[in-house]
């Protein structure tokens, strides 16, 4: 049992019997989370454990059986195969998992974010208001890239949030939302966007030896102006300098629906001889971060590591293979919050940051109606892992 688990005081009475429903696209992550919860609750001591309020507190699994079968026409329904009456229910969904397929009039169809979101609504509808509380854990926030209106266009993310709370969802937990201000769409309901900064730092220190964590040898880089707060936080907790790129666009032309980028302009102090940590919310095609890494190498940067919460790799992995072999980048870190292909996990340049233990902490604490503010602020954990690294200890 970890030191952190031993020091957590969860003597409060649980909101209700804990139930987790990971949708099919989030099955492996849900099972890892469940393993942690089962382990912790088996060994946790509590004077109230035998009281009625703690009924069902220790179980072999907190995952409730549910499925979303489809008809031949591609239509579907949500079915929950166990009682959810009075449960504190946590639904896990990965809207970015394109690996799942279903039959549509004899054709194999890959599931899109829209399909996953619709399946989530089917499960919420199957609950039928019988759960005591519903929390949706949606690591990649559905439609989060369509968060603001710049022309006569839809506001899909805001609509989805409002739809979920109208269906009875009490809390929504997401990771590294593209723009957290989208929570203004549901101001009277719970919305948490969690940063995986600690897991990135831990993953880097665990896998890369001989890094010098000081402003003379290392810098944190934001690849655009939109992600500056992310880079500022990481730079501040590590005591490093920060640099930023902004995209200079040609506003006289439109190519593929947007103004083309003319150049990436750099703002910051000299990067010469320093190790770089580029931090962003997602790698889509990877084109942007590779251009930024190229610009840093031209300025004679040393090692370059790319950290992104969501590794979508929409154009495949070949380009990253090439830039790694050419020495342009030294590693890419993304989380297991969304689907990872076996090919990605086998790459030499890839470092996987596991988030299942963190999600288990959040669920365990919320089920007890305890504060999660210390979990949302990882500064203390970051300082601990950095000081252990500097002392030469093994980071496990």
The C-alpha angle 169, 171, 172, rounded to 5 degrees, equals 100
* CA 173 – CA 154 distance, rounded (Å): 23
- Tell me the whole-structure pTM to 2 decimals: 0.91
The predicted structure's pLDDT at residue 6: 43
* CA 54 – CA 178 distance, rounded (Å): 38
Q: Which two tokens stand for residue 392?
A: 């030469």
The predicted structure's pLDDT at residue 224: 86
Q: Which two tokens stand for residue 30?
A: 């849900």
The predicted structure's pLDDT at residue 49: 65
Strand pairing report for 171-175 and 218-222: unpaired
The predicted structure's pLDDT at residue 1: 45
Q: Which phi and psi (to 5°) does residue 302 adopt? A: -85, -115
Q: Which two tokens stand for residue 61?
A: 């699994």
The three-state (H, E, C) secondary structure of the chain, written as one string: CCHHHHHCCCCCCCCCEEEEEECHHHHHHHHHHHHHHHHHHHHCCCCCCCCHHHCCCCCCCCECCEECCECCCCCECCEECCCCCCEEEEEECCCCCCCCEEEECCEEEECCHHHHHHHHHHHHHHHCCCCCEEEEECCCCCCCCCCCCCCCCCCHHHHHHHHHHHCCCCEEEEECCCCHHHHHHCCCCEEEEECCHHHHHHHHHHHCCCCCCCCCCEEEEECCHHHHHHHHHHHHHHCCEEEEEEEEECCCCCECCECCEEEEEEECCCCCCCEEEEEEEEECCCHHHHHHHHHHHHCCCCCEEEEEEEECCCCCCHHHHHHHHCCCCCEEEEECCCCCCHHHHHCCCEEEECCHHHHHHHHHHHHCCCCCHHHHCCHHHHHHHHHHHHCCCCCC
* CA 10 – CA 18 distance, rounded (Å): 14
Mean pLDDT by 10 residues, the chain (396 residues): 52 87 95 94 71 77 95 92 94 94 89 95 95 96 89 92 96 92 93 94 92 92 88 94 88 81 85 94 90 93 95 92 94 94 94 95 92 89 92 83
Q: At what angle do helices 156-166 and 113-127 cross, to 10 degrees?
A: 10
Q: Measured between alpha carbons, how far is residue 114 from residues 29, 122, 314, 368 in Å?
A: 20, 12, 17, 33
The predicted structure's pLDDT at residue 299: 93
Q: Which two tokens stand for residue 155?
A: 């506001």
* CA 330 – CA 344 distance, rounded (Å): 15
The predicted structure's pLDDT at residue 72: 87
Given a contact cutoff of 8 angstroms between Cβ atoms, the answer to whether 324 and 305 are in contact is: no
* CA 279 – CA 244 distance, rounded (Å): 10
């Amino acid at each position: 049992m970890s030191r952190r688990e031993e020091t957590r005081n969860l003597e409060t009475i649980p909101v209700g019997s804990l139930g987790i429903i990971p949708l099919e696209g989030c099955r492996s992550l849900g099972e890892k989370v469940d393993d942690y919860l089962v382990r912790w609750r088996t060994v946790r001591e509590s004077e109230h454990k035998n009281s009625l309020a703690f009924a069902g507190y220790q179980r072999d699994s907190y995952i409730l059986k549910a499925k979303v079968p489809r008809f031949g026409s591609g239509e579907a329904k949500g079915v929950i195969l166990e009682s959810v009456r009075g449960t504190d229910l946590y639904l896990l969904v990965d809207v970015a998992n394109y690996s799942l397929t279903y039959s549509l009039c004899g054709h194999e169809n890959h599931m899109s974010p829209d399909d996953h979101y619709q399946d989530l609504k089917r499960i919420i509808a199957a609950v039928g208001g019988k759960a005591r509380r519903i929390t949706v854990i949606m690591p990649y926030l559905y439609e989060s890239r369509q968060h603001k209106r710049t022309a006569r266009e839809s506001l899909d993310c805001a609509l989805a949030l409002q739809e979920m709370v109208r269906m009875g969802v009490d809390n929504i937990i997401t990771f590294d939302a593209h723009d957290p201000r989208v929570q203004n769409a549901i101001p009277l309901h719970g919305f948490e966007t969690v940063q995986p900064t600690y897991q990135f730092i831990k993953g880097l220190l665990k896998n890369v030896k001989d890094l010098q964590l000081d402003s003379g040898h290392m810098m944190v880089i934001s690849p655009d102006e939109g992600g500056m707060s992310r880079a500022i936080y990481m730079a501040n907790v590590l005591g490093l300098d920060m640099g930023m790129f902004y995209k200079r666009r040609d506003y006289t032309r439109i190519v593929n629906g947007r103004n083309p980028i003319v150049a990436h302009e750099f703002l910051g102090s000299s990067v010469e001889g320093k190790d770089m940590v580029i931090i962003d919310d997602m790698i889509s095609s990877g084109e942007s971060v590779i251009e930024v890494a190229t610009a840093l190498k031209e300025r004679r940067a040393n090692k370059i590591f790319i950290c992104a919460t969501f590794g979508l790799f929409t154009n495949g992995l070949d380009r990253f293979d090439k830039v790694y072999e050419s020495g342009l980048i030294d590693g890419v870190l993304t989380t297991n919050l969304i689907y990872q292909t076996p090919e990605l996990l086998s790459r030499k340049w890839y470092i996987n940051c596991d988030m299942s233990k963190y999600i288990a902490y959040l669920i365990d604490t919320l089920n007890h109606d305890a504060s999660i503010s210390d979990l949302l602020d990882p500064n203390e954990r970051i300082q601990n892992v950095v000081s252990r690294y500097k002392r030469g200890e093994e980071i496990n």
